[in-house]
A and B are shown apart, each in its own frame.
Chain A
């Protein structure tokens, strides 16, 4: 089955700096890669996603890049703010559908003042 690895498990950055979280996946048929942000006591919230027909997608301070050849994708957050502090999960679809997402183990991002 699909295996998704996520690094780092924790990340601390100063406010205003950039943060990068990386994920690799194993199933070459995967074609949908969402990123979720989970704040304490809440369910995960989709922040950005990318499909296999594009290599990069940007939404304000957040961007995601995808390298299908290497089977890895990354989340980039620029100009980090304290409210960006949360746990971030990457995910990949299994077998080309989005119905069964396999999640990474999460990255706890701490933005310090």
Chain B
């Protein structure tokens, strides 16, 4: 079946602009996760959703970052007033249920802030 999809695959923006990244999880998966991967680095956890609720937002790097999920499906990660240090690959994953379940990753969105 279809896996996790993300769009756009690449995004180049100018410093100070806002960007929206989209994630379509696997159908029926209730949990959704956002990670950030800087060049040559590991994965940095940002936020997770159980249904439409995000119980813990402490992983978001700053208040310029926000995320929402509607209808228990699609999620968007918004970065306002982008900075060059926001440049990274943003990965989305989903799992069937929240606890002790396999996370399936999308291909990521490569964000470049000029």
Contact = CB atoms under 8 A, between A and B. Distances in A.
Interface residues of B, number: 28
Contacts of B42: 6, 89, 103-106
A103 B31 CA distance: 18
A7 interface: no
Interface residues of A, number: 26
Contact of A97 (B4, B45, B98, B108): B98
Contacts of A93: 100
Contacts of B48: 99-100
A42 B106 CA distance: 8
Contacts of A42: 107-108
Interface in A38-85: 41-46, 49, 51
A46 B104 CA distance: 7
A49 B98 contact: no
Interface in B10-61: 31, 33, 35, 40-45, 48, 50, 56, 59
Given A93-B100, A98-B100, A43 B45 contact: no
Contact of B107 (A36, A41, A49): A41
Contact of A46 (B41, B43, B98, B103): B103
